[in-house]
Amino acid sequence: MPAPDRDLPPRDAASRIVETLRRAGHTAYFAGGCVRDELLGRTPDDYDVATDATPERVMTLFPRSGEVGKSFGVVLVQAPGSRHVVEVATFRSDGQYTDSRRPDSVRFSTPEEDAARRDFTVNALFLDPITGNILDFVGGQADLAARLLRAVGRPEARLAEDHLRALRAVRLAAKLAFTIEPATAHAIRTHAKDLRGVSRERVGDEIERMLTNPARARAAALLRDLNLEPPVLDWTGRQASGPSLAALPPHASYIAALAAWALDLGLEPGDAPREALVTSWRQSLCLSNEHRDGLAAVLAGVEVLRGPWPAAGVAAQKRLAAKREFETILTVLYTLDLPRAESTRSRVRELALTPSGIAPPPFLTGDDLISLGLKPGPAFRRILDAVYDAQLEDRVQTFEQARELAGSLSVKAG
């Protein structure tokens, strides 16, 4: 028995959809980023199919399908015998843009017109997955060979129509190590300030994709070079660039990359500038609570490790080392001060070998203080912290000793 093909690789799933459309009398190709990536020898993230079949027709041909954005003519199809979902889009040409972001209307059309509405020439190629033939109406193959990112049509008009294309250009040029063709780059610079009209959510999404890619330093340099930094960040850095982003490990997290970027732009030490930056970036990049809190904790942690940490007491050292973000803090510190990062790492190893370790469960809780006859109040937290510090420093090693210390502290406090 042949194995059931529920796990058809994505490319085969998409090819099968093309074959089905062809058998039903339609034209169908692979389109967009997947063609570009295949021709570059990269593995596409996903495969998109473009066809002359209308969305209704596509949904009749594939029972397991559903429409997304009716007006845009895109249907999500689950290939027969596969888990993979493929976007099948009807060839279309986009109407006028009045909001600089989405066309007001679309009209179903030909492959040639469909190529013309795409953003960059290397994104506007069609591939016949069965014969390997390429359809190229816009010189995309020549630009691929020259590693050039060039707007389809008049760069000025295409950038004015959809300002997000400026960020797509930076993200793709950085990721693929392409040059942005001069007229396209000029149009991006000209329209840089118009980016303020794009929703912060979409800006943030593009920036997250840039900063989580190993080519993040190239992306940051392009943003600067194309005057996109002010409209993206809505915050003015002090310096052109620092070493941190470029020195991060390839798979560093978004939080690590945000912190490295802030430091590269010359964030000054101190609570106030740090808080101002975090508040501002939260807005401009539409950061989630998790990313905002992570960024704040990493920037604060890096400052402590670069400053007072080596001379701090054992309890203070352990409290920082126990933070959820500590590994990220160290990752960023490595990009700025290697000797300090290594000495921190070895100090943490020593702390882990102390009897209490880095983050022991506390001997005492608020309930224990209540059973000692203490009333919840401002002194409460201070006593718990002092007892936990003593535990971290191995000055108290048992529950009994902890209770005694709490008792004597409460007498003092009272």
- Judged by DSSP in three states, 391 sits in helix
Asked if 191 touches ligand ATP (CB under 6 A), the answer is: no
In the complex, the smallest distance separating the C-beta of residue 46 from Mg ion, rounded to whole angstroms, is 5
Q: How far is CA 40 from CA 116, 141, 352, in A?
A: 21, 10, 48
In this structure, the strands spanning 85-90 and 48-51 are parallel
Secondary structure string (H, E, C) spanning 289-338: HHHHHHHHHHHHHHHHHHCCHHHCCHHHHHHHHCCCCHHHHHHHHHHHCH
Site string for ligand ATP, 87-126 (x = CB under 6 A): -------------------------------xx---xx--
d(Cα 137, Cα 152) in Å, to the nearest integer?
10
In the complex, the smallest distance separating the C-beta of residue 70 from ligand ATP, rounded to whole angstroms, is 18
Q: Which is nearer to ligand ATP, 35 or 263 (CB)?
A: 35
CA angle 339, 344, 347 (to 5 degrees): 125
Binding site partner of 218, from Mg ion, ligand ATP, none, Cβ cut-off 5-8 A by kind: none
Options 14-22, 57-65, 164-172, 309-317: segment touching ligand ATP (CB under 6 A): 164-172
Q: Which is nearer to ligand ATP, 31 or 332 (CB)?
A: 31
Asked if 237 touches Mg ion (CB under 5 A), the answer is: no
Residues 10-49 that bind ligand ATP (CB under 6 A): 32-33, 45, 48
In the complex, the smallest distance separating the C-beta of residue 142 from ligand ATP, rounded to whole angstroms, is 17
Asked if 165 touches ligand ATP (CB under 6 A), the answer is: yes
d(Cα 122, Cα 215) in Å, to the nearest integer?
19
Residue among 33, 129, 140, 155 that touches Mg ion (CB under 5 A): 33
Q: Which is nearer to ligand ATP, 40 or 312 (CB)?
A: 40
Options 75-83, 159-167, 180-188, 189-197: segment touching ligand ATP (CB under 6 A): 159-167
In the complex, the smallest distance separating the C-beta of residue 115 from ligand ATP, rounded to whole angstroms, is 8
In the complex, the smallest distance separating the C-beta of residue 110 from ligand ATP, rounded to whole angstroms, is 15
Q: How many residues does the chain have?
A: 414
In the complex, the smallest distance separating the C-beta of residue 81 from ligand ATP, rounded to whole angstroms, is 24
Segment (H or E) for 353: none
- Judged by DSSP in three states, 57 sits in helix
Asked if 287 touches ligand ATP (CB under 6 A), the answer is: no
The answer to whether 207 and 232 have CB atoms below 8 angstroms apart is yes
Q: How far is CA 190 from CA 120, 164, 173, 183, 391, in A?
A: 18, 14, 18, 10, 61
**Token pair belonging to 236:** 């003015």
Give the binding site for ligand ATP (CB under 6 A): 32-33, 45, 48, 118-119, 123-124, 162, 164-165, 168
Which stretches of the chain bind Mg ion, using CB under 5 A? 33
